[in-house]
Copies of this chain bind each other. A is one copy, B any other.
Amino acid sequence: MTEKFQPVKGTRDFLPEEKILRQSILDVLRKAFEEFGFSPLETPAIETWEIATKKGSSDSTTDVYREIYRFKDQGERELTLRYELTFPLARVIAANPQIPKPFKRYQIGKVWRDGPVKTGRYREFWQCDVDTVGSASLTADAEILAMYTKIFKELGLKVVIKINTIKFLDNVLSYAGVPPEKRNAILISLDKLEKIGLEEVVKDAKERGISENEIREVYKIIKDIDPENPDIDNDGIKEGLEDITELSRLAISMGAKNIYFVPTLTRGLTYYTGPIFEVFLKSGALSSSLAGGGRWDNMISDFMGSKEKVPATGTSFGLDTIYDAMLLEGKLEKQKTVTDVFVIPIKTKEYCLGVVRELRELGINADMDIMDRSISKNLSYANSLGIPYCIIVGHEELMKKVVKLRDMKSGEERLISLAVLKNEIKYPKRGKKPKKTK
């Protein structure tokens, strides 16, 4: 019976018990983005097919194009649902040349991909993107790393930040004699090193047409490399490593912690041009990254068809993964409602209208019986929603100008005056597990 009312395949309803927590994560992100001087941008969900596919025709991108939802409006325009927030940023930059640079913006919004649905893969999902457009400085990259540290500390998650640079990777490959056409294949294999070990990587690489010799040669170059003291006679590799050292130093000065150089880290191979970064749970309990990004100096000028480079760097946060990580690490407690206090009148409805009004004026999330239910039914309603406190007002309380405050967890009840109520309530930290009291 309820089957036919389920959301469309690949999409999800978020009932309050999930939405409250997801929203609290977005609030933390937004606050940190703004503290780091990134301002909000909003672009439409609908973009033309022409704009959506303007970015280029590299392999990985074309794959994405196949997953674009496509339709026409009544004026026969070829439209799409955006599949990411990056090309809309490029479009905004192109449409608004007056915007002062650097342009630091964040955008939190949904994107859509008509792809295969599996665990952790949806057709409609949120992206939280932060980018600095117009600065080629490593300081702009470093800022992203410092922001990671601030955000994940705030969320209560212990993380490691892995970094690398495309410059280092590309120079290692050419130094090892890997032909350009094998670049992406070998890097994709190499990226699995930390997870599956060298021998499996060799097997994986072979299946991608890389010889055992090639992959072992690359591995030999990178395995013991020390970015601060590289023992190698190749200027390109040295420059890549200098970037790593400088990036770490700047990031640490800005507050970043737990940065690790991972010489096999690869991501967005057709896209990134400089430093790349990825954030993982320190415990390793989740294999997906919580956030990732890098420098992408070519895309905007390619998109605009302009000769002048528009350097950019940034990151994307995975709301679904962060949510899963926080649940896993016990940092979230599900709640079915935002209501902190539920008011139950016993033949004192008129008076209680004023009580609930006062609570709300105090900034307390308050609700009251609107069903004319009995006390026990009201208590059981409040209980089913996980509301932490009830206030019960009978004739006696009304006369004494007090209310009966019931702690729904302990069942403890006591009479107090409204004036002191605010200080008596322990607010559940929405999105955070309430701190244990000793």
Interface of A toward B, CB cutoff 8 Å? 2, 5-9, 11-16, 19-20, 22-23, 34-48, 51, 69-71, 73-75, 77, 79, 81, 91-92, 94-97, 99-102, 104-105, 110, 112, 114, 123-124, 132, 134-135, 137, 139-140, 143, 146, 150, 250, 253-255, 304, 336-339, 342, 349-350, 353-354, 356-357, 360-361, 363-368, 370-372, 381, 384-385
* CB neighbours of A357 from chain B (8 A): 146, 253-255
Selected contact of A255 from candidates B20, B123, B146, B361, CB within 8 Å = B361
Instruction: Establish whether residues A34 and B338, one from each chain, have CB atoms under 8 Å apart when the complex forms.
Output: yes
Selected contact of A338 from candidates B40, B69, B137, B304, CB within 8 Å = B40
Cβ of A186 to closest chain B Cβ, rounded Å: 32
Number of this chain's copies in the assembly equals: 2
> Knowing A46-B112, A73-B114 touch, does A338 contact B102 (C-beta < 8 A)?
no
Instruction: Establish whether residues B39 and A19, one from each chain, have CB atoms under 8 Å apart when the complex forms.
Output: yes
- How long is the Cα–Cα vector from A143 to B359 in the complex, in angstroms? 14
Smallest CB-CB A-B distances: 9 pairs: A37-B367, A71-B71, A11-B44, A16-B39, A5-B95, A253-B353, A14-B42, A5-B94, A37-B339
- How long is the Cα–Cα vector from A356 to B142 in the complex, in angstroms? 13
- How long is the Cα–Cα vector from A113 to B44 in the complex, in angstroms? 13
Mostly helix, strand, loop or mixed at chain A's interface? Answer: mixed
Selected contact of A75 from candidates B9, B48, B143, B250, CB within 8 Å = B9
> Knowing A71-B69, A350-B253 touch, does A40 contact B13 (C-beta < 8 A)?
no
Known A-B contacts: A5-B94, A9-B73, A11-B46. Give 10 more (CB < 8 A): A7-B91, A8-B47, A8-B48, A8-B79, A19-B41, A37-B342, A102-B370, A132-B370, A135-B370, A139-B370
Selected contact of A40 from candidates B5, B23, B99, CB within 8 Å = B23
Instruction: Establish whether residues A99 and B15, one from each chain, have CB atoms under 8 Å apart when the complex forms.
Output: yes
Selected contact of A73 from candidates B12, B38, B69, B91, CB within 8 Å = B69
* CB neighbours of A364 from chain B (8 A): 35
Cβ of A208 to closest chain B Cβ, rounded Å: 27
> Knowing A9-B75, A105-B16 touch, does A337 contact B124 (C-beta < 8 A)?
no
Instruction: Establish whether residues B39 and A20, one from each chain, have CB atoms under 8 Å apart when the complex forms.
Output: yes
Cβ of A374 to closest chain B Cβ, rounded Å: 15
> Knowing A40-B20, A253-B357 touch, does A13 contact B92 (C-beta < 8 A)?
yes
What are 17 A-B pairs at a CB distance below 8 A?
A2-B96, A8-B77, A9-B77, A11-B45, A13-B41, A15-B96, A19-B42, A35-B360, A35-B364, A37-B367, A39-B339, A44-B124, A46-B69, A46-B112, A71-B71, A100-B336, A150-B360
Instruction: Establish whether residues A71 and B73, one from each chain, have CB atoms under 8 Å apart when the complex forms.
Output: no
Instruction: Establish whether residues A137 and B79, one from each chain, have CB atoms under 8 Å apart when the complex forms.
Output: no
Instruction: Establish whether residues B254 and A104, one from each chain, have CB atoms under 8 Å apart when the complex forms.
Output: no
